[in-house]
Amino acid sequence: MKDEINIFSPATVANVSCGFDVLGFCLESVGDNMLIRKTKKKGIYITKIKGDFDLPYETELNVAGVSALAMYQTLNVDFGFEIEIDKKIKPGSGIGSSAASAVGSVFGMNQLLGNPYNKTQLTQFAIKGEALASKCEHADNLAPAIFGGFTLVKSIVPLVILEIPSPSNLYATIIHPQIEIKTFEARAILPKTIPLNNAITQWANFGSLIHALHTNDYDLIKQSLNDVIVEPHRSKLIPYYNEVKKTMINAGALGAGISGSGPSIFSLSKGVETAKHVADNVSNLYAKTGIAFDVYVSKINTQGIQIIK
Ligand code: HSE
């Protein structure tokens, strides 16, 4: 059995407009690299963090460390693990930075142990790491990172994850304005109750979106990508949100919304050419704002987290 393994841990888009806290999808071209190594010394150690971010080395304070510990506590082994993180996804970006760290450690450890745990069990461990960052247990970034494609978190207790098919010509365009929004702060501004008519609109859109993904119905995806519950509150935190959304849709996107808790904004398009056209238009718009940003175009990553050969 191998003693160390390199992992690509992908970025993800959670919520997908109408699926707050339950729906997410996995990106192909953005993610962290991680190395997990067996050590003679027992315990979990974060030994290297690359990237220009101020992340803690203390295992109990590091998202990757906390999820690794959750798994380690279930093992009866006379060795430990070291974790090296090459952090490429900026924390607080809205594309699952903490989820990528949380799943990378447990996926890598599982591989080195000969895969005793299934994907749902890995997600269960990773929830502990994610909760450190967002102060709440949710799995809508973790599940797509581990399973790939679109996933629906049916329930947290017990943890039930459904894999939803991805239409093969569906591409995401993401703009990431370089400001940080902390998930727990973006959660704190949400109302505790919602009007019944908004709930009806949201679950009609959500059901339609799931149906559209199953039936490759791009037109229905377009009609379903709406969020009447969360977007009205969180969009205020994102500079030029309405302009970006309008630009993406005018450029041909099926729909656009806040990626996770923001500030990233995602759109979905039919075909890579349209997704690139959306990227060009939104880049031209945002270049005028004076706020630094990144733009990504990605096919839906149906494989999820991977071993780097
Ligand atoms: N569903 C979560 C939220 C995703 O929107 O708060 C962010 O981690």
Is the CB of 185 within 6 Å of ligand 1? no
CA trace torsion 256, 282, 98, 132 (10° rounding): -70
Task: Collect the ranges in the chain with pLDDT lower than 70.
Answer: 1
Q: Which atom of ligand 1 is nearest to the CA of 99?
A: 8
Query: Does a cis peptide bond (omega within 30 degrees of 0) precede residue 158?
Result: yes
Of 137, 164, 191, which residue sits at a domain end? 164
* 174 plus 158 within the same structural domain: no
Q: Which amino acid is at 170?
A: L
The alpha carbon of 62 and the centre of ligand 1 are apart by a number of angstroms equal to 19
* 119 plus 258 within the same structural domain: no
Is the CB of 227 within 6 Å of ligand 1? no
* 99 plus 36 within the same structural domain: yes
Q: Ligand 1 pocket check: which of 130, 141, 258 to mutate, most ligand atoms within 8 Å of Cβ?
A: 141
In a domain, 92, yes or no: yes
Is the CB of 105 within 6 Å of ligand 1? no
* 149 plus 41 within the same structural domain: yes
Q: So what's the pLDDT on residue 18?
A: 98
- Please count the CA atoms within 13 angstroms of the CA of 15 that sit on its side-chain side: 27
Q: Under a CB-based contact definition with an 8 Å cutoff, are residues 103 and 67 in contact?
A: yes
Q: Which amino acid is at 127?
A: I
Query: Any idea what the CATH number is for the domain that residue 263 is in?
Result: 3.30.70.890
Q: Indicate which residues carry an active-site annotation.
A: 130, 183
Q: So what's the pLDDT on residue 309?
A: 86
Sign of CA dihedral 258, 30, 274, 218: negative
Nearest to 187 by CA among 18, 11, 20: 20
* 98 plus 31 within the same structural domain: yes
Q: So what's the pLDDT on residue 1?
A: 64
Q: So what's the pLDDT on residue 81?
A: 98
The neighbour count for residue 8, using CB atoms within 10 Å, is 20
Q: Provide the strand spans (E) within 221-264.
A: 255-258
